[in-house]
Amino acid sequence: MDPGYTIAVARLEDIHRLAAIERAAAALLRGYAPPSALNETTSESDLRDAQTHGRLWIAFANETPVGFALVEMLATDLPHLEEIDVDPQHGRRGIGTALVRTVCEWVSRSGYSEITLTTFREVAWNMPFYSRLGFEEVSNDGLRPELEALVEDEAARGLDRRGRVVMKWRVPCAQQSGAAGAEGG
């Protein structure tokens, strides 16, 4: 990550700034997702809940939030990278990579064996980005019920299931420690 940027566990006072980052990042997906999906933002109550449980990280340029990563728990043993956004004005500086690595470190420290995400299959910078960071595609017949429900919800919101992919990052065996299901940061 370029100098001048830092990542930290979110502070409550920064949550109100995240919707603007989410909308700015969504603009890059015009043509890949319906406008209704591009206009969605994560609710402040969901962000506050994640912040309370240590599952929300913010990238800062000095003291200004410029990106964030949000983990949702789909089950007690299934963390899911629900949202990761970087303001395009701060793109291509390693912030997204640093956010994903921060999340993966949290997964490992917290005793989980894996984390999942959904992304666009055909957007040149989505699936390949996560693949470079060690995420692998999960076949549709290998989806847990919680992930199947999430994919169905995305489809109901207008995201074409054929254009979406579920991916998973697994903690290397040597790094697994602690009890699965532990929350915290």
Q: Is residue 105 situated within a structural domain?
A: yes
User: How large is the greatest C-alpha to C-alpha distance in the chain, in angstroms?
Assistant: 45
How much is the pLDDT for 153? 96
Q: Is residue 169 situated within a structural domain?
A: yes
Residue 33 pLDDT > 60: yes
User: Helices then strands (H, E): number in the chain?
Assistant: 6, 7
Q: How far apart are CA 54 and CA 9, in angstroms?
A: 7
Residue 24 pLDDT > 50: yes
Domains of the chain: total: 1
Q: How far apart are CA 115 and CA 163, in angstroms?
A: 20
How much is the pLDDT for 176? 58
Burial class (CB in 10 A: 0-12, 13-18, 19+), 184: exposed
33 vs 37, 67, 120, 158, CA distance in Å? 6, 20, 9, 7
What does the mean pLDDT of the chain come to? 93
Domain interval for residue 71: 5-174
Number of alpha carbons in the 13 Å side-chain half-sphere of residue 19? 10
Q: How far apart are CA 109 and CA 86, in angstroms?
A: 24
What is the CATH number for 53? 3.40.630.30
Nearest to 71 by CA among 132, 123, 19, 112: 112
Q: Is residue 139 situated within a structural domain?
A: yes
Please give the average per-residue pLDDT across 150-160, as a whole number: 95
Is 142 or 79 the better-scoring residue by pLDDT? Answer: 79
Q: Is residue 183 situated within a structural domain?
A: no
Please give the average per-residue pLDDT across 53-70, as a whole number: 97
Q: Which residues make beta-bridge pairs with 120?
A: 164
Is 105 or 36 the better-scoring residue by pLDDT? Answer: 105
Q: Is residue 73 situated within a structural domain?
A: yes
Is 55 or 182 the better-scoring residue by pLDDT? Answer: 55
Lowest average pLDDT, out of 46-55, 74-83, 108-117, 176-185, goes to 176-185
Nearest to 28 by CA among 74, 91, 79, 71: 91
Q: Is residue 94 situated within a structural domain?
A: yes
Q: Is residue 184 situated within a structural domain?
A: no
Q: Is residue 181 situated within a structural domain?
A: no
